[in-house]
Structure 1
Amino acid sequence: MDPLIETLAASDPAQMMRNGRWIYAAVSGGHVLGIALLIGAIASLDLRLIGLWPTVPVPDLARVLVPVAMTGLTLAMMTGLLLFLAGPADYLQMRLFLLKLTLIACGVGHAVWFHSTNSFARPGVALWRVGLPSLLIWLAVLICGRMLAFVD
């Protein structure tokens, strides 16, 4: 895997991320925006699933918030890849980074499963059992991502 990491680190986008102060800042800002869209939409939907705002129909809320979350996830992933290119070997040595990627995969898998089963449209389903794990997963992703700036 070392040749792949070396190739990534030597790529034009990687050099641009390491040497372009304003480019790095813009990409980082885009990453924060993507995270805000993703976590804001998911947290709102999860809080509804847990039991807040019981008069708001879950399918209606999902119809509005799922596209926002998907847009945020796409933006966060695209910008996250660019940020990763600034130091791929360093990131891959961080257990916290690998945990963050694992949690993202769990969060996305959980959301795909939930929406593919159309569980929110069935009466009597204990939606808090879906909302609470999702909320905890995405908050853990957020914490792991933020903590990356403070660990070696």
Structure 2
Amino acid sequence: MAVSGGLRHDLHGRGQRLTPQRQRVLDLFERVGAGHHLSAEDVHLQLLRADARVSLATVYRTLRLLASMALLRELELPEGSRRFELASAEQHDHHHLVCAACGRTEEFDSAQVLQAGADAAAKHGFRLLSSRLTVRGLCGACAAAV
């Protein structure tokens, strides 16, 4: 999958260029699709399996850059680990349930969360752009093991 010329232009405007490594990372997220949450290590491993020679440090830098450009969304998990997912214009605000023990992540939608965000924004003079809630707890398997 080739990325649009718009990304090439956006990168150039930031003094960056579309390197083969950046293209491969973005292509990987486009292949796995929205709703898949990948860590830098997951991305690195999948790229190595595909015979792409890219360092883990390059993957980290690329993920941060693509997230800063709103091409990827970043999700912070317990213990400070981070996962990334593909961002798209069609994708609506959604929220995450994250297991504090194993890191399992599930997405959910909630009109009540969106409304609470809109209410809080209005109360404090903000215009709501998006809302995202991360609920940390224990998944069924981890809760049963405790």
Q: Which has the higher helix share?
A: 1
TM-score, normalised with respect to structure 2:
0.25
Tell me: higher relative CO, structure 1 or 2? Use CA pairs within 8 A at least 6 residues apart. 1
